[in-house]
Amino acid sequence: MALSLTVNGDHLASTADPTTPLVDILREELHLTGAKPVCREGFCGACMVLIDGTPRPSCLTPAALADGCEIRTVEGLATQGQLNRIQAALDTSDAVQCGMCFPGMVVSLTHLLATTPDAVREDIRAALTGNICRCTGYERIIDATLLALATK
Amino acid sequence: MIPGPQMRNAPVETRNATTSIHVAPSLASALDALAEYGAAGAAFAGGTWIMRSPVRHEPLRAHYVAIGRIPELGSIRIGPNAVEIGAAVTHAALAAALSDLPEFNVLVAAAARSANPAIREMATIGGNLATSDFAAADCVPALLCLDAEVEISSRDGCERMKLERFLEIRSTLAPGRLVTQIIVPRGEHKTAHARLPLRKAGDYPVAIVSLSISVDGTGRVRTARIAVGSVEPVARRWERLDAALIGRPLDPAHAARVAAELAGEFAGRDSVDAPAWYRVSVLPGLVRRAVAAALGA
């Protein structure tokens, strides 16, 4: 039975096995390669997407439980060609890193800005607990997030 | 540079092409499906353990029954004598629901500090208890020290048992049975949860000490329930330490000294992240931290 997915506003069908990790459908079927299957264990956060508005590692989300959900990947965060606040702040602060961990960080921080508008440095660090950067580039990302929070 | 996980870009190939997931709309539907699938089926709660089966080179079951959308399994009832926690309550929801009840500090800390924020939104309390091979589960020692009971349901009815008993039999539970609720008695206790991950957050704990202690009017320990997790393959109570603390003033340094004398009863488990001896050697320090936290220090 086909699964019904809503990805970045588009209604799509998939015939993937129900236990197929969502990240594999996003990448292999829909060619949305922003989410990266790095650890496949929920540790690294490189595959993070928003499912019904909440960050979830798409490597641990089976297709069957994404059925009917609103999924937003890093490719769908900008609206009408306009970067969202965290994307713009990361760009302005020259904090953009390689594409391995970064899409997942942008997803997690997009959620933080939406849900914790008064976040402080420690809140940002806590929100990024599940996003591992192997280049240790966290501090500039945190500074950029503080800038985004200050930009109303 | 932080040691990172091994890249697993390619889909892991040990998936079973015929695996099904029944998203149960009700408890009755879930129990019916589990009974019909028998040994070929299993419950699927948060999925944070099952979805990693291929990484562990373990085959998936042929059938799963997703229980996360069953209303009664996602609820928490706070009563005057006990808290009843549905098995599909997530760590994040549990921590939020009990955050204003100091007697449950141990459980809030266990639920709020495990793994990372996204995993805490998925992983469930029932899954934490039912996953026999997960030695580092935070909520297991926390619930042991709180003297929790587990409700197990099947199409034929339900039964309750102490968590300690459940941990003994969980790997041999007959097919068709499902953990549906965790019942935690309330009381005037000081509780705390001390864990040692290799990084400050986001890692499995090397060792865990959970405790629940009541003191008399002079500050001496009246009752004590201390549990240790992640050191051995299954979390368990540290009853000799309980007994050694009762009747003595509650003091972090004293508790740590006694713990050092008694820690030899733990065998420890070797794994890639920490050797057995290290897990045992950090226990006195964790006991000291837990007692200090319970005292509010």
Give pLDDT, residue B14: 46
Chain A residues close to B54, C-beta within 8 Å:
40
- Taking the C-alpha atoms of residue B33 and residue B22, their distance in angstroms, rounded to an integer, is 8
Say which DSSP state A79 is in.
Answer: B
| B64 contacts A17? CB cut-off 8 A | no
- Give me the pLDDT at residue B31, please: 98
Record: contact A60-B8, CB cut-off 8 A? no
d(CA B258, CA B9): 49
Q: What is the C-alpha to C-alpha distance for residues A58 and A7, in angstroms, rounded to an integer? A: 13
**Quick one: pLDDT at residue B264?**
98
In angstroms, the Cα distances linking A77 to A94, A107, A144, B145, B232 are 19, 8, 17, 44, 44
Q: Are strands A48-51 and A70-72 parallel, antiparallel or unpaired?
A: antiparallel
Helix (H) / strand (E) containing A72? strand A70-72
Measured distance CA(B237)–CA(B141) in Å, rounded: 8
Chain A positions contacting chain B at CB under 8 Å are 17-21, 24, 28, 36-45, 48, 54-57, 59-62, 64-65, 67, 108, 126-127, 129-130, 132-136
CA nearest B12 in A: which residue? Answer: A40
What does pTM read for this prediction? 0.94
Domains of chain B (ranges, CATH numbers): 20-66 (3.30.43), 72-185 (3.30.465.10), 190-295 (3.30.390.50)
Cα–Cα distances in Å, from A54 out to A24, A117, A121, B16, B235? 19, 16, 21, 29, 31
- Determine the pLDDT at residue B2: 36
Among A21, A42, A64, the residue with its CB nearest the CB of B119 is A42
| Sequence-separated (6 or more) residues with CB below 8 Å from residue B42 | B34, B50, B61, B63, B64, B65
Tokens of B68: 């996360």
Residue A121 has pLDDT above 80, yes or no: yes
pLDDT of B199 reads 86
Q: Tell me if the domain spanning A3-76 has CATH number 3.10.20.30.
A: yes
What is the rounded distance in angstroms from the CA atom of residue B149 to the CA atom of residue B220? 28
Q: Please report, for chain A, the start and end positions of each structural domain, with discontinuous segments joined by +.
A: 3-76, 85-150
Cβ contacts from A onto B, under 8 A:
114
pLDDT, tens digit (0-9, with 9 covering 90-100), for A33-81: 999 999 999 999 999 999 999 999 999 999 999 999 999 999 999 999 9
- Angle, CA B144 vertex, CA B226 and CA B102 arms, to 5°: 75
Burial B13-52 (b: 16+ CB within 10 A, else e): eebeeebbbbbbeebeebbbbbbebeeebbbbbbbbbbbb
Query: What pLDDT is attached to residue B297?
Result: 58
Handedness of CA B17, B18, B19, B21 (dihedral sign): positive
Pick the CATH number of A85-150 from 3.40.30.10, 3.20.20.10, 1.10.150.120, 3.40.50.300: 1.10.150.120
Q: Name the residue with tokens 């970045």.
A: A8
Element holding A56 (H helix, E strand) = strand A54-57
Task: Identify from B9, B119, B134, B200 which residue to disrupt to test chain A contact, counting A C-beta atoms within 10 A and taking the largest count.
Answer: B119
Question: Per-residue pLDDT for chain B (297 aa), expressed as one digit of tens each?
Answer: 333 445 555 555 445 557 999 999 999 999 999 999 999 999 999 999 999 999 999 999 999 999 999 999 999 999 999 999 999 999 999 999 999 999 999 999 999 999 999 999 999 999 999 999 999 999 999 999 999 999 999 999 999 999 999 999 999 999 999 999 999 999 999 999 999 999 888 889 999 999 999 999 999 999 999 999 999 999 999 999 999 999 999 999 999 999 999 999 999 999 999 999 999 999 999 999 999 999 995
* Rounded alpha-carbon distances, angstroms, from residue B128 to A135, B82, B98, B217: 32, 20, 18, 36
Would you say A64 and A20 are in contact if contact means Cβ atoms under 8 Å apart?
no
